[in-house]
A and B are shown apart, each in its own frame.
Chain A
């Protein structure tokens, strides 16, 4: 038997090796496909599909299959269920997606338990990467845009006082803390922090904004989940004439999702956000990307920062598959292959920090302008290269605990 076994192994060794590497690798994709926030999932879903379409040949003999499941509402209530299904029924080798932080937070203990690599394509609460050694993040920490925004507001806009308003869930709290930390470090003072209620339905922002208007801060930092909330913010800011009152609206890129910018009124002109990405970025990689996107999804579909992170996430997955020759069985090896990975993505040069498994990327102060063709667009005012998650650098709160 032994001899026969050895003989068989010798004979079929090559074949079985070939078979192993030609196996279809299943990737679990968890994104919101239903409900009022499904536009967010859609932006990443399209990016995943586009990357696979453009780069399938880079995988050689390996094939991947994306198994898509609905992340559900922003509360994260559905994520654990679908991830359990993906792991036990669909036998996926890797998880990706995760738009909402509560979903990623809920799933983290599970991926640690089964040693399943989890590549986050959006969820931005800073300390998520501390929750499991099997998590790597390709999108951003809320601190990445918010911290430089605080510095920028105090030093470039000379804002002495600022008010902050945020949707009351972990990324909102995080974003506000980041802004406040940087702004006060640079000599400013945050005079008020306004909670805008939970992330589900879009509230009537007027009473909240009226309160801020009456406080007359120099700068007004707003965080809301990207998508339908953003238009409400711009509308209320315009309705209340806050610009005329001398209050400058600033925020992270979530305030002007590229696909919403086209529908926003001129009230948005002059708004400055800190962003890792915009359709209008003048880099060769981005121009090719935007062109490919329009070819695939039509002229009325626009990629945004979430799509950009989606492209880079899928690039990371392809990198891992090629580095490990299609064998993703060992979750620890997958994560090791990503540590220190450098890539020229659509956002510019990015890297996965080997210590924190979080993204290092450029951040840009972008001003909303009216372009020559009459549409709203952005102009880059300043670039901060290689921004790290400052929360983990400063080891603040839960950013300092864990791994």
Chain B
């Protein structure tokens, strides 16, 4: 039984970290601008394909490819933000949703054209492919790596958000955008920065997910539901909310699959519905 709980906690933690890494950008942009970016999954997919091309075609080492992807997709997302998103900041939610879901479909079509519709696998370095022995148990090294990356990002984001000047400005803008603007904070610039970092993190998550889930152009949309659930459950605009949301959903998904395999894939939705019944704005959301 102890063994069982350890494996659920471990697998659940790895899965939660993936959810967190991808969802954090979505949460912050939603909290900051109230912008519903359904193309967030497309940035994650783009990251996945960039990692794939970098490692298999250009021969870049896996970790280097992840870093490149974070920077390149983050930078590219600024173009989209300036050219497309900025026009719709004042628009209604329906307009935003329509544009971003349209972008997602275009991304799926474009990547299908260039990479084909089939699943791609990736060769990860040997030190991530094996098992790590801890006492009597062994854990897949890749999942340990995922947890470590996730934990490092939580620490870095916490520091950036809570201890730096720019983090304070972002928090102020999320709390009250008009007041923040009136004291001279350039919210648009802040938004561009957070959008870039968020998209870069999504791309990083996409790159990390290849080994976990495989990669197809549909990645942009099939896992989007999970990312939106994390933001809804955690409450938008909050690092801790996203982290707790990712942990709750990741753990309950894994435990559900383990204990109730007949209805296992449904557990994540049941938990989300239950939480939202009692906390409609999410666990850390403001009323």
Q: Interface on A for B, CB 8 Å cutoff?
A: 34-36, 38-39, 192, 194-195, 197-198, 200-204, 206-208, 210-211, 214, 227-228, 231-232, 239-241, 263
Contacts and interface: CB of A to CB of B under 8 A. Distances in A.
A195 B222 contact: no
B217 to A, nearest CB: 8
B117 A208 contact: no
Contacts of A231: 119, 121, 214
A195 B118 contact: no
Contacts of B7: 210, 214
Nearest to B263: A195
Interface in B142-199: 142
B56 interface: no
B121 A210 contact: no
Contact of A204 (B119, B212, B216, B222): B212
Contacts of B8: 207, 210
Given A201-B218, A231-B214, A239-B140, A208 B118 contact: no
A34 B117 contact: yes
B117 A214 contact: no
Contacts of B222: 200-201
Nearest to A205: B257
Given A35-B218, A195-B262, A210-B7, A204 B117 contact: no
Contacts of A240: 140
A195 B218 contact: no
Given A35-B218, A36-B119, A210 B258 contact: yes
Contacts of B265: 195, 197-198, 203
A211 to B, nearest CB: 5
Interface of B: 3-4, 7-8, 11, 15, 117-119, 121, 131, 138, 140, 142, 212-214, 216, 218, 222-223, 253-255, 257-259, 261-262, 264-265
A125 to B, nearest CB: 20
B119 A202 contact: yes
B118 A39 contact: yes
B140 A207 contact: no
A348 to B, nearest CB: 30
A263 B255 CA distance: 31
Contacts of A194: 261
Contacts of A192: 261
Contacts of A263: 121
A318 B138 CA distance: 56
Q: Which of B3, B118, B255, B262 has the most CB of A within 10 A?
A: B118
Contacts of A201: 213, 218, 222-223
B258 A211 contact: yes
Contacts of A35: 117, 218
A211 B254 CA distance: 10
A214 B6 CA distance: 12
Contacts of A38: 117-118
B264 A197 contact: yes
A341 B272 CA distance: 56
27 contacts: A36-B216, A36-B218, A39-B118, A192-B261, A195-B261, A195-B264, A197-B265, A198-B265, A202-B119, A203-B265, A204-B213, A206-B11, A206-B254, A207-B8, A207-B258, A208-B264, A210-B7, A211-B258, A214-B3, A214-B7, A227-B119, A228-B119, A228-B214, A232-B214, A239-B140, A241-B131, A241-B138
A242 to B, nearest CB: 12
Nearest to B121: A231
B56 to A, nearest CB: 12
B223 to A, nearest CB: 8
Given A36-B119, A207-B11, A202 B214 contact: yes
A191 B69 CA distance: 45
Nearest to B112: A34
B71 to A, nearest CB: 28
A208 B263 CA distance: 12
A194 B117 CA distance: 28
Contacts of A211: 257-259, 261
B257 A207 contact: yes
Contacts of B140: 239-240
Nearest to A214: B4
Given A36-B118, A206-B11, A207-B257, 13 more contacts: A34-B117, A36-B119, A198-B265, A200-B222, A202-B214, A203-B265, A204-B212, A207-B11, A207-B258, A208-B261, A208-B264, A210-B258, A228-B214
Contacts of B15: 204
A210 B216 contact: no
A260 to B, nearest CB: 10
Contacts of B4: 214
Nearest to A165: B261
Contacts of B262: 195
Contacts of A36: 117-119, 216, 218
A207 B118 contact: no
A35 B219 CA distance: 11
Contacts of A241: 131, 138
